[in-house]
Structure 1
């Protein structure tokens, strides 16, 4: 690793900020796309590091010295902070869930709300940094892997730059397929097999393969276990339950919107069951964590850590923004919202510790738990419950990503104060990019459609409705299905912590398979299996596959967004 003294003067540079900003904008756009399609998003530390190093290295041949490891780290810090904003602002869950509940949210509210939660999440990570990274020495594996990659890149010279060519090639290929599908329309969106299942045409059940480079790329990134789990969930939901619902007359027709209204409940049951062990652990840890967090905050303030760089001012402004926007935009009383904010801090502290140990940021779990608490205190208000749940979920999303970046910086000898500043800048950039992207997509397709299934939002809505009205308002037999799903999710969650973990289906992925069109699950699984087969033939090619998957995602996301903009302007249609 590079020495601190050598790299420190070149840690914060204009080219690092520009590289981080450009990569972060691309991450934000693709994460909005992925989040609305499948409820998945990419933190992007490894990808941002490779792209930032490659770009700055290529430019250094003519302009300036070679990039330092701390420049690369600062670029990935800014990029990942921006890329996390779709999750922090609730664009994957709470905001589309409110639209599904008949409470659409204005753009200015979404933007300010997201910035407030993003800033709160970054500051929360900064306060927890010393405790979790240095005193407890939690691994935060994603941050450690990114640090190792940055060190390898700077030790091996220009060779890794060539790997990015695979990404650019895959991105161009993704754009070409998207243009053939959406522009010239010579490719169908989905290829269906002829035939019927349970008397229902396969086309109505969405059982086919989609022509989507983004979904294939996602399959490459998530791997065969998640891909097969998603496919299994889709086959059970759309291949077994959906024909039964039509045959028994429990839905009026075999449309996606009517079928998913029932299938949401067993799917959400699976996802909630998968989080049950974590939820219990969180509940037991909350009192101790709240006391510890207050003590750590006072200790940081006494040392001046939290106050440095305007941290206290940023915290005060973010809380004031959230209180004002929460009241004006969501109808949350300031005192109630203040209580929600106070609860979200120990929730995020516990979630951050889980992210450090397992490398999984429990964003959905945080949202579910806070929704449940709010529903118990203020029943009968599902929309307010969704807004309250977004506080913990959004803050946790940014806290987890920030701590991964702080771990990378710690291992490379970076300044946490510079990282804090660029993370706050990344929050602003990410909001500026992701919020317009979200509204363009939902204007073109509408949330809850087969084009934008918004599985995370369906989970938010389901939890809010149960918290507000109990089980009486569910469709016939949906309560039983949700209970069975929760039981299966709990069993799988327990089994996944044992020796059979690699053979146990992911309950979360199974649940998502109930909520998205079957064609999306089939296409994603196909990408995962193709990648697994390629790795068996070429065992050392995982980094190339990662670049191919990322390129396909970015290529379709960017061109798809451009076509939507042109269509809204009347220049394409």
Structure 2
């Protein structure tokens, strides 16, 4: 999932973005020349603040990813928190510079993306569903290796994508604009932080009443006496979820994605689910039984959309290979030195990941190299899609890699999931790194220094994300309705299909999956033309097939609320977006804390 959000005087003048004409999709900011050396950038306080904020983002992403399949890069949230934290720390020293704030958000983003790079949201729980549970330390090293490859790959692509082709990378541009605004006026920070703290505290309060005291239900379902297609509404999970996090996600993804998820949910739970029970295809009503069938057309929609994205990027693959051959040979001074170090670090990162893939995931060196051959072009596809649309399709591309791997090595679902995890893990850090590099480019930051802070951030991210993942699983279980793990189910479904063929699919789901794939292709192709703003998102629709209907309703309500505020009170739009981020962080953090207390026997799980 990508962010759609997008102060005080400093010792040196803040770099000010210069507006340029909106041509060829170029961002509305123009990079400035590098600041004078006197402007502080890589400072201990920037690293400490970035690490602490990144730890919060990592915990949040584990929880939201397992619950909804969405996760945030944290670029904008990290910038806001970094500015506030650095300003508070500077009362007895020089005020922070915009470049310090940017280095903090770069560090935080690298830490926060580790749950996706390590496969904790998709590949690792999917393997657990298939009976394989690799040790936590091996998953951590695996994630560090894949994250390193993603960071290095982003560094190698930055010149072509950010400078030569000038792809917009809207989240990166919005981050640069926010940092520049925060350092030029304190009012922007005050407006955003009010929404962030107010919603965060309210979110924690509701989560405490729900998860610790059991006074608020997880979902308020419509009564079973209300029939939909002859099936009780409660069996279809029709209702609303008492989750500030879902409202916050809706605020950030916007109305198009929110309505698309609701449309997918209506088709799945209001249309297909009653038909499945009525015809006897599924013999038991309820979320666990029905979701096992509905998952397949949902995956078809998402993989169809990803296939279209891949085809649209085929012509760019020769440029990608040229970038790889020239790795470390361009730039001057710091840039040239960093480029050479990047080139030297590629082989150690590959070796580390390969050893962990063999030891923990039983992915032999030959199969790992096959997965790696898919990783580089597909990560480039993900990077270009991120730059053009601000949506990073790392999980669907991982599932495309599963299809390609399955055609070469059929009949081994566990290896198939691991191979998909290699692609999606590296692609995750490639995309988020390019968002940060775009922000740094527009602010005049040093790409080499951004590279330096991203790599240690991977270690901190692993140290935070792995325990959080195990805490949540020990409290809620592997396939709990409260943690539906939609991305993991997608990985598992594709692995089953490639291993067993059509025989591995539920009865009557083959045709539905094929039709959904075709719809995904058509919607994704149509989204590149004039109808883009009116067509639903195929990937978001697919998510509506997987999560409980009450989750989709709540998320859509959040997106419509944000749209209404933007229409009738545009001046409050930024405050509402910050409130959405606060709601996500508040519920995620407190839910993880409660899970830890339950796991250590310090609190009893309610009811």
TM-score by length of 2: 0.90
**Over aligned residue pairs, what C-alpha RMSD do you find?**
2.0
CA distance in 1, matches of 2:364, 2:487: 26
Q: For 1:90-116, what per-residue CA distance to the aligned partner results, in whole angstroms no more than 9, with x for missing partners? A: 111111111122222221221111111
User: Is the aligned partner of 1:219 residue 2:278?
Assistant: no
Determine if the alignment matches structure 1 residue 509 to structure 2 residue 540: yes
Aligned to 1:447: 478
Q: Structure 2 matches for 1:66-85, cutoff 5 A?
A: 66-85=95-114
TM-superposition CA deviations, 1:95-145 (whole Å, max 9, x none): 111112222222122111111100111111112222222233222222112
Check whether the contact 1:205–1:518 (CA below 8 A) recurs between aligned residues. Answer: yes
Alpha-carbon distance, 1:70 to partner: 0.5
Q: 1:467 to 1:282 in 2, by over 3 A?
A: farther
Q: Is the 8 A contact 2:61 2:112 kept in 1?
A: yes
Residues 66-465 of structure 1 mapped to structure 2, 5 A cutoff:
66-157=95-186, 159-194=188-223, 195-283=226-314, 285-286=316-317, 288-289=318-319, 291-297=321-327, 299-300=329-330, 305=336, 310-465=341-496
Asked whether the 8 Å contact 1:54–1:161 carries over to 2, the reply is: no
Cα deviation, residue 222, structure 1: 1.0
| Whole-angstrom CA distance in 2 between matches of 1:28 and 1:34 | 10
Q: Please tell me whether the aligned partners of residues 329 and 340 of structure 2 are also in contact (alpha carbons under 8 angstroms).
A: no
Pair 1:31-2:61 in alignment: yes
Q: Hey, what does 1:483 align to over in structure 2?
A: 514
Quote the offset at 1:54 in angstroms: 1.7
Once residues 8 and 398 of structure 1 are traced to their aligned partners in structure 2, the CA distance between those partners, rounded to angstroms, is 31
What is the distance in 2 between the residues matched to 1:383 and 1:455?
18
Deviation at 1:466, TM superposition (A): 1.8
2:501 maps to 470
Q: Distance in 2 between matches of 1:307 and 1:214?
A: 39
Residue deviations 1:170-221 (CA, integer Å, cap 9, x gap): 1110010011111222111111222232332222211111111111111111
Contact 1:273 1:488 (C-alpha < 8 Å) held by counterparts: yes
> How high is the TM-score relative to the length of structure 1?
0.95
SS in 2 for 1:209: strand
For 1:408 and 1:283, the matched residues in 2 are separated by 27
Q: List aligned pairs for 1:539-558, cutoff 5 A.
A: 539-558=570-589
Contact 1:170 1:549 in 2 (8 A): yes
Which secondary structure does the structure 2 equivalent of 1:360 belong to? coil
**Deviation digits for residues 408-463 of structure 1 (CA, Å, limit 9, x no counterpart):** 11111111111111101211111111111111112222233211111111221122
SS in 1 for 2:65: helix
- Contact 2:248/2:581 (<8 A) preserved: yes
Whole-angstrom CA distance in 2 between matches of 1:63 and 1:202: 60
Distance in 1 of aligned mates of 2:567 and 2:466: 40
Closer, same or farther: CA 530–359 of 1 in aligned 2, 3 Å: closer
Counterpart CA distance in 1 for 2:285 and 2:597 is 33
* 2:582 is equivalent to residue 568 of structure 1: no
In structure 2, the partner of 1:45 is 75
Cα offset, 1:7, TM superposition: 6.1
| Cα distance change of structure 1 residues 8 and 357 upon mapping to structure 2, 3 Å threshold | farther
Q: Give the CA deviation at 1:9.
A: 4.5
SS, match of residue 214 in structure 2 = coil
Evaluate the alpha carbon distance shift between residue 289 and residue 134 of structure 1 in structure 2; reply closer, same or farther with a 3 A threshold: closer
Q: Which runs of 5+ in 2 are unaligned?
A: 1-13, 16-32
- Structure 1 residues 32, 282: closer, same or farther in 2, change over 3 A? same
Distance 1:408 1:220, change over 3 A: same
| Partner deviation per Cα, 1:61-93 (whole Å, 9 max, x = no partner) | x32121101000000000111111111111111
Structure with greater helix percent:
1
In 2, the alpha carbon distance for the partners of 1:159 and 1:39 equals: 31
Query: Shift in Å at residue 4 of structure 1?
Result: 4.0
Q: Residue 309 of structure 1: CA displacement?
A: 8.1
Unaligned runs of 5+ in 1: none
Tell me which of 69, 80, 89 is aligned to 1:59: 89
Instruction: Give the secondary structure class of the aligned counterpart of 1:186.
Output: coil
For the 8 Å contact 1:127–1:300, the answer to whether it is kept is: no
